[in-house]
Structure 1
Amino acid sequence: MSVDKVEYGSFPAKPVRKLANPGPLGLFSFASTTLILSLYNAHARGVAAPNVVVGMALFVGGLAQLLAGMWEFAAGNTFGATAFSSYGGFWLSYATIFILGSGILDAFKETPDELSSAIAIYLTTWTVLTFLLLISTLRRNIGLIALFLFLDITFLLLAVGEYKGSANVSKSAGYLGVITALIAYYVGLAELLHRDESWFTLPLGQMPKRLG
């Protein structure tokens, strides 16, 4: 973290601390947790139960991403703060569903169909939020547009899979989730590779800015 000096007329210079970019932390945390859950949804290696992702969802997708969101607020990036904080909350809330002490799954023991509908509504809500964030990316860069587009479709397919009770649709969502995670890794790495400190950089495909 660098420190710059700012002159205020005849007053002594005061150090101003620059915040490091919290974007890579948020993106890598999101990507890693999404990759694990998506591989489970795709039944990789025969794994279908998502419970092992709970720890990852709590501390990486949840806590680390939420912290990244708070730092984005301090850095003045409203979009990054909103996105990271929201998906940090998503992972924390998702993990809570599978924590035995929460009582959430126990409430649906006798009505499994109702549980599917409840989870479908939960996923539908995140589909709507992700679509709104997708709109906010349209003047930013192609990397972010692709990330939120694939994420929105993934949420939509997960919701449809729960509504229809279709394992194939949920599995397809898993495959799309893997692609989403890989895009998030790419965008995160592109932000991490600083031009002055790296051997190469990665393009994100900047969109034309509004004139005037």
Structure 2
Amino acid sequence: MATQVTPPPLEKMGSPSTQHDLEAQHLGLMDTDGGASLRRQISVQLSPEQFERLYLQPGGAKAKGDLSKRFANPTPLGIASFLLCLTPFSCFLMGWVGTTTGAAASLVGAMLFVGGLGLTIAGLLEWVLGNTFSSVVFITFGGFWWSFGYLLDVTNDVATTLGAASADYNGGIAMYLTWWSVLVLIYLIASLRTNAVFVALFTFLEITFWLLVAIYIRLAKGNADIEMLLKAAGAFAFLTSAMGWYLELVLVLDCTGIPIKLPVGDMSSFMSRRRHAD
């Protein structure tokens, strides 16, 4: 004779212990051969140094929400876009392969569609992920390459209108680069909470900008003796590129899962706020 099972009273089913049992049964529904239990989800914790390889947010501040888990990391795109303009430009400044600064006109397309567009897209994606610092850096430098691409584009006749050797033309560029030097200095200070490679990159870039300022001031005053300054600016721009290429390598190795961990010198704890004891 079958035994009839009487269900528990409704008021008891609403008790905390009964709800816990029902929840446990529900979570166990996927414990079958054909699927994985919801309780088997794995949470991966990144160290500050690992995180800084992926995101250049000062202090290791993580992106908001879960967008960084669903979207790709845009940082390698931004760095690559910057490097593909700066590296050949630094070679022109140093006079490699017999080039002069006149060869910069050959980079107009790259400045507009690689440096300008690539950095702006990367900056907007960093903004979506909540990485404020890297977003601001990428978008502003995207504007920098766009502006220089426009300046060097012969179809715009900027140099012809003002006169390539005039004080207005060279002095105007010198003033523009001066304030870029101030902005890069701010970025340098902020980078002290990212990693050592990023700090070195902004340090070399800051020196590069001031050397370019000195070059254009000399030209504005009619002094054409700028060969040594050009080579020095090119050398520091190349050192900036070297730091950038290293960061690009680190980022690409990490995002492709290649088990080669290159050091970047985590500085996320630098100048961190002290926690007061309760």
> Do the two structures share a fold, i.e. TM-score over 0.5?
yes
Q: Deviations for 1:151-196, whole angstroms, at most 9, x for unmatched residues?
A: 1110111111111232321221011111111111111221222177
Q: Deviations for 1:36-68, whole angstroms, at most 9, x for unmatched residues?
A: 111111111121111011111111111111100
Query: Where in structure 2 are the equivalents of 1:108-147 lying within 5 Å?
Result: 108-109=162-163, 112-147=166-201
Distance 1:106 1:164 in 2: 19
1:19 aligns with 2:79: no
Range 146-155 or range 182-191, more displaced: 182-191
Give the TM-score normalised by structure 2.
Answer: 0.67
| Counterpart contact for 1:26–1:64, Cα < 8 Å | yes
Distance 2:172 2:255 in 1: 47
The match for 2:263 among 195, 203, 207 is 203
Give the TM-score normalised by structure 1.
Answer: 0.87
Range 158-167 or range 139-148, more displaced: 158-167
| Counterpart contact for 1:69–1:83, Cα < 8 Å | yes
**Corresponding residue for 1:42?**
94
Change (3 A) 1:188 1:195: closer
How much has 1:100 moved relative to structure 2? 2.4
**Corresponding residue for 1:154?**
208
**Corresponding residue for 2:119?**
65
Q: Deviations for 1:11-35, whole angstroms, at most 9, x for unmatched residues?
A: xxxx976221111111111112100
May I ask how many residue pairs the two structures share in their alignment? 199
Can you give the 5+ residue segments of structure 1 that lack an aligned partner in the other structure? 1-5, 7-14
Distance 1:123 1:167 in 2: 19
The match for 2:239 among 179, 182, 189 is 179
Change (3 A) 1:21 1:113: same
Can you give the 5+ residue segments of structure 2 that lack an aligned partner in the other structure? 1-37, 39-65, 220-225
Change (3 A) 1:195 1:98: closer
The match for 2:249 among 189, 193, 198 is 189
Range 188-197 or range 85-94, more displaced: 188-197
RMSD: 2.0
| Counterpart contact for 1:195–1:201, Cα < 8 Å | no
Q: Deviations for 1:108-167, whole angstroms, at most 9, x for unmatched residues?
A: 127523321111112112111111111110111101100111111101111111112323
**Corresponding residue for 1:3?**
none
Report which of the two structures shows the higher radius of gyration computed on alpha carbons.
Answer: 2
Higher strand share: 1
**Corresponding residue for 2:27?**
none
Range 50-59 or range 97-106, more displaced: 97-106
**Corresponding residue for 2:85?**
33
1:75 aligns with 2:129: yes
**Corresponding residue for 2:5?**
none
Distance 1:133 1:66 in 2: 17
| Structure 1 residue runs of 4 or more that deviate by more than 6 Å after TM superposition | none
1:97 aligns with 2:157: no
